């Protein structure tokens, strides 16, 4: 692998896509896409990730939970405080799976009310067990991020409340974001009715956030009915293609622990992830 090229890996429910990312061009190009089953997952990843180098990983929203917590600015955030709060909305025991959080300051535009918003990402326990065997085989990891988190980063830090509907070969992801914060996500099958799901999602988002959605963004597909539905609601309509693969390399993975979300790092100091613990015990 040349020094100017990096590898980004998207892991979906039934496929893995590996992409070369060019530093010079800030662009990516597909290299390999391989389907897998429960039985072949480990072998598939070992084979396609056998090349030397450092990889960054994006997990499909179907494999990870992303939740948002709000705390007053004067509360001291600790990992234990965040874990207890997160377990109220995430159906996982966070002490038995891998998770991390990022503390961000969030300001509601109308009320000008500052809060500590904490973005929490949790790898589903069943999937984390699958990954463990793969990474013990020696695959290197620089960072692991959820799909929705990378999308929010690419949208930038503006004050509009937006809903993105992103479609890939497996699913439709409905995502509400504001100021780089993932507020709500819903995943639906590609065979579902997107217009009905969009209406339900928008209504839920506006009730939960007590403010109106300003923008509707379609990504990965085109649908005249969806465009009409967005415009009927008085939203600003746009179509965008998000390059998640180059985007994950734009996201910083260095800095104070609480200001960086990385599912291969957690706690008040750098921790050993599954495979790092394994190699530490077996180091020569």
What would the mean pLDDT of 184-193 be, rounded to a whole number? 92
Give the pLDDT confidence score for residue 59 in this predicted structure: 96
- pLDDT tens-digit map of 53-62: 668 999 999 9
Confidence of residue 24 (pLDDT cuts 50, 70, 90): low
Which two structure tokens, joined as six digits, stand for 134? 């793969």
- pLDDT tens-digit map of 107-160: 554 454 667 889 999 999 888 888 876 776 666 778 899 999 999 999 987 889
Smallest CA-to-CA distance from 243 within 37, 3, 13, 30 is with 30
Which two structure tokens, joined as six digits, stand for 38? 């429960």
- pLDDT tens-digit map of 200-233: 999 999 999 899 999 999 999 888 889 999 999 9
Give the pLDDT confidence score for residue 188 in this predicted structure: 94
* Helix axis angle, 194-209 to 224-232, nearest 10°: 30
Percent of the chain with pLDDT over 70: 82
Give the pLDDT confidence score for residue 138 in this predicted structure: 62
Confidence of residue 257 (pLDDT cuts 50, 70, 90): confident
Name the pTM for this structure.
0.86
Which two structure tokens, joined as six digits, stand for 269? 């100091």
Give the pLDDT confidence score for residue 142 in this predicted structure: 84
DSSP 8: E
């Amino acid at each position: 692998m040349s020094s100017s090229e990096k590898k980004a890996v998207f892991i979906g429910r039934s496929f893995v896509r590996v992409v070369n990312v060019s530093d010079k061009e800030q662009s990516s190009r597909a290299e390999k896409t391989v389907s897998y089953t429960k039985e072949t997952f480990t072998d598939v990843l070992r084979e396609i990730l056998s090349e030397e180098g450092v990889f960054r990983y994006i997990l499909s929203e179907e494999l990870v939970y992303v939740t948002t917590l709000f705390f007053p600015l004067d509360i001291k955030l600790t990992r234990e405080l965040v874990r207890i709060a997160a377990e109220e909305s995430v159906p996982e025991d966070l002490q038995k799976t891998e998770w991390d959080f990022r503390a961000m300051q969030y300001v509601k535009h109308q009320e000008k009310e500052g809060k500590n918003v904490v973005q929490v990402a949790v790898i589903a326990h069943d999937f984390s067990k699958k990954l463990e065997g793969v990474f013990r085989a020696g695959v290197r990891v620089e960072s692991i991020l959820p799909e929705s988190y990378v999308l929010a980063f690419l949208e930038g830090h503006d004050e509009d409340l937006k809903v993105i509907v992103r479609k890939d070969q497996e699913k439709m992801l409905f995502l509400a974001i504001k100021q780089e914060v993932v507020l709500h996500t819903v995943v639906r099958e590609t065979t579902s009715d997107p217009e009905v799901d969009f209406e339900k999602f928008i209504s839920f988002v506006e009730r939960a956030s007590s403010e109106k959605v300003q923008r509707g963004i379609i990504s990965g597909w085109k649908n005249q009915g969806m465009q009409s539905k967005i415009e009927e609601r008085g939203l600003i309509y746009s179509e965008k293609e998000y390059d998640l693969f180059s985007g994950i390399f734009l996201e910083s993975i260095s800095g104070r622990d609480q200001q960086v979300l990385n599912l291969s790092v957690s706690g008040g100091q750098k921790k050993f992830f599954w495979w790092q613990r394994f190699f530490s015990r077996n180091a020569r």
